[in-house]
């Protein structure tokens, strides 16, 4: 009951006209910047920071948080419409969302993204409200060994992500791993694969890779077709999801929410990992996994739910422990400090109106986002009716501007173009970009945590099995491997037996 009375206090704060306005401004800005690649919540919040000094702390926090989770909604829009992930975490949404748009189902895809995000937002906010402090303490248990085992589980799981040739998928994972380790090595401080280029010391940015591999490569492919093929079908079906669609996305949304909430609460993991895991899980559970990558609606619902859930539970380590889970969270902590509030565990007791006001505003913000996004679906969907010869230069321009604006660096634009060419070559070779992205995201985290765990255990591998959480992840990994190998073996044996019978 304590939580309920606290929530009542929170809603009292969040529902004042002033805070409602700031919440709306936040989620509206978030949606806008989510649509544009490169201009992410980090840059926006940084630029708005000086303005917030004049506001009272609750209002500024409500607005800044709105920008952050609003961007998760907006990021899916361009991913679905033009295969250009506006945010890091919507790269996964692009895989099936864009195919849906090409089949004339941009409306249902966009609506699915909005609905899945909304459901996930509400559920995960409840989690923050009821279990925040508890989960925060538990997240402290995660050290290098736990992260390594968790990542390993993710990577093994990703074998499921492959559709088509397993060897090609593995090759793409390896290319992704290699791209991911470009830059300064965290453990030794030495540069790897940077070829003396200063701009490469920080590695190849995610936006560069995702936009190049998805958006640019897609444009080159479309332009390469000599026969006159329309990229988008002219026959646009219903704008809203059908009843069958709703039924199809219910469970994926809930599973995505669960995975996203889990990953979001861990300070060492990015939201894109949550989106990937949710996608892989759906593909594994699907009756017909071959539909994935060709416009499966579950492939939109699950990662979108995971994204938004992670965006909300990301606040747990930040608010309950004062530990920033990402750069954006570090910025929010900075904003609080500037307001004279020391973020950390004591905020919940010393400034309850701040913590609970923010939690309540997340409910309000998610409702506002749904109201804002659903009516826009029709408008956005009409974008696919624009002739491609007008659309592609605009996409390329946004891709270039977005990449440039990240670091004010022309190098990123060149790199993105180069990755685009690479993406075209991969497409010609029938290699999927998704395993590459996965290797790129997980690889460096896997390596960093493996080396840190061994550094701290003085080289003893026992640390991975003596720590219970790590051991649990490893056991699950072993189970997944068995579950994948056993049927293959049995099938192989059956085939051998059949052949034996025939012969």
For the chain, the first-to-last Cα distance in angstroms comes to 72
List, in order, residues 6 or more apart from 372 with CB less than 8 Å away: 27, 28, 31
3-state helix vs strand vs coil in the chain, percent to 5: 80, 0, 20
Q: Report the alpha-carbon angle 144-434-482, nearest 5.
A: 60
Residue 202 or 494: the one with the smaller Cβ distance to another protein is 202
Q: Does 133 sit near another protein (CB under 8 A)?
A: no
Q: Does 139 sit near another protein (CB under 8 A)?
A: yes
The site that binds another protein (CB under 8 A) totals a number of residues, namely 55
Q: Of these, 5, 21, 290, 342, which contacts another protein (CB under 8 A)?
A: 342
Torsion of CA 119, 121, 122, 126, to 10 degrees: 130
Closest CA to 369 of 312, 302, 295: 312
CB of 41 to another protein, least distance (A): 10
Q: Does 242 sit near another protein (CB under 8 A)?
A: no
List, in order, residues 6 or more apart from 471 with CB less than 8 Å away: 149, 464, 465
Q: Where are the alpha helices (DSSP H) in 408-432?
A: 410-428
Q: What SS3 class is residue 225?
A: coil
Give the interface segment with another protein, choosing from 5-13, 253-261, 403-411, 495-503 (CB under 8 A): 403-411
DSSP state of 158: G
CB of 272 to another protein, least distance (A): 16
Q: 183 - beta bridge partners?
A: 192
CB of 70 to another protein, least distance (A): 17
Residue 296 or 331: the one with the smaller Cβ distance to another protein is 331
Cα(38)–Cα(86) distance, rounded to whole angstroms? 7
Residue 429 or 455: the one with the smaller Cβ distance to another protein is 455
In SS3 terms, 266-287 reads as CCCCCHHHHHHHHHHHHHHHCC
Residue 139 or 362: the one with the smaller Cβ distance to another protein is 139
Q: Of these, 456, 465, 483, 485, which contacts another protein (CB under 8 A)?
A: 456
Q: Does 459 sit near another protein (CB under 8 A)?
A: no
Q: Does 409 sit near another protein (CB under 8 A)?
A: yes
Residue 196 or 503: the one with the smaller Cβ distance to another protein is 196
The H or E element that residue 183 is part of is: strand 183-184
Q: Does 325 sit near another protein (CB under 8 A)?
A: yes
Give the interface segment with another protein, choosing from 20-28, 216-224, 418-426, 452-460 (CB under 8 A): 452-460
Token code pair at residue 311: 């965006």
CB of 306 to another protein, least distance (A): 21
How many residues in the chain? 503
Q: Does 201 sit near another protein (CB under 8 A)?
A: yes
Residue 45 or 370: the one with the smaller Cβ distance to another protein is 45
Task: Please report, as ranges, the residues that interact with another protein according to CB under 8 A.
Answer: 42-43, 45-47, 49-50, 139-144, 184, 186-191, 196, 198-199, 201-202, 267-268, 321-331, 333-334, 337-338, 342-346, 407-409, 448, 452, 455-456, 458
């Amino acid at each position: 009951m304590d939580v309920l009375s606290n929530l009542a206090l929170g809603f009292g704060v969040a529902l004042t006209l002033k805070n409602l306005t700031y919440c709306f401004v936040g989620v509206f800005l978030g949606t806008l910047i989510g649509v544009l690649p490169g201009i992410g919540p980090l840059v926006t919040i940084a630029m708005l920071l000086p303005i917030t000094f004049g506001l009272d702390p609750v209002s500024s926090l409500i607005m800044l948080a709105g920008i952050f989770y609003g961007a998760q909604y907006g990021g899916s829009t361009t991913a679905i419409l033009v295969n250009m992930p506006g945010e890091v975490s919507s790269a996964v949404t692009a895989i099936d969302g864009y195919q849906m748009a090409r089949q004339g189902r941009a409306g249902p895809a966009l609506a699915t993204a909005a609905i899945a995000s909304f459901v996930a937002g509400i559920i995960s906010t409840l989690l923050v409200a009821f279990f925040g402090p508890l989960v925060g303490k538990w997240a402290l248990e995660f050290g290098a060994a736990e992260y390594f085992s968790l990542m390993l589980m993710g990577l093994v799981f990703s074998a499921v992500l492959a559709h088509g040739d397993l060897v090609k998928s593995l090759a793409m994972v390896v290319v992704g791993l290699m791209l991911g380790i470009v830059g300064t090595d965290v453990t030794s401080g030495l540069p790897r694969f940077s070829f003396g280029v200063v701009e490469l010391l920080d590695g190849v940015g995610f936006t560069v890779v995702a936009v190049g591999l998805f958006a640019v490569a897609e444009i080159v492919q479309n332009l390469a077709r000599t026969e006159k093929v329309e990229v988008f079908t002219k026959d646009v079906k219903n704008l809203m999801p059908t009843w069958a669609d709703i039924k199809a996305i219910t469970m994926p949304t809930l599973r995505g929410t669960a995975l996203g909430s889990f990953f979001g609460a861990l300070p060492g993991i990015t939201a894109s990992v949550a989106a990937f895991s949710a996608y892989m899980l759906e593909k594994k559970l699907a009756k017909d996994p071959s539909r994935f990558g060709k416009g499966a609606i579950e492939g939109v619902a699950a990662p979108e739910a995971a994204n938004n859930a992670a965006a909300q539970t990301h606040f747990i380590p930040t608010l309950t422990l004062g530990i920033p889970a990402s750069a954006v969270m570090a910025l929010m902590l900075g904003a609080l400090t500037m307001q004279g509030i020391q973020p950390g565990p004591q905020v919940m007791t010393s400034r309850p109106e701040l913590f609970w006001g923010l939690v309540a505003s997340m409910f309000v913000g998610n409702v506002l986002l749904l109201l804002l996004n659903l009516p826009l679906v029709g408008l956005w969907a009409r974008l696919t009716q624009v002739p491609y010869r007008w659309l592609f230069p605009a996409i390329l321009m946004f891709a270039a501007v977005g990449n440039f604006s990240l670091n004010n660096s022309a190098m990123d634009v060149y790199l993105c173009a180069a990755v685009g060419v690479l993406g075209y070559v991969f497409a010609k070779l029938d290699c999927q970009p998704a395993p590459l992205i996965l290797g790129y995201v997980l690889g460096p985290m896997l390596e960093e945590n493996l080396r840190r765990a061994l550094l701290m255990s003085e080289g003893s591998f026992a640390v991975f099995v003596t720590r219970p959480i790590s051991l649990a992840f490893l056991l699950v990994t072993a189970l997944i491997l068995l579950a994948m190998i056993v049927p293959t073996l049995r099938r192989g044996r059956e085939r051998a037996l059949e052949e034996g019978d025939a012969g």
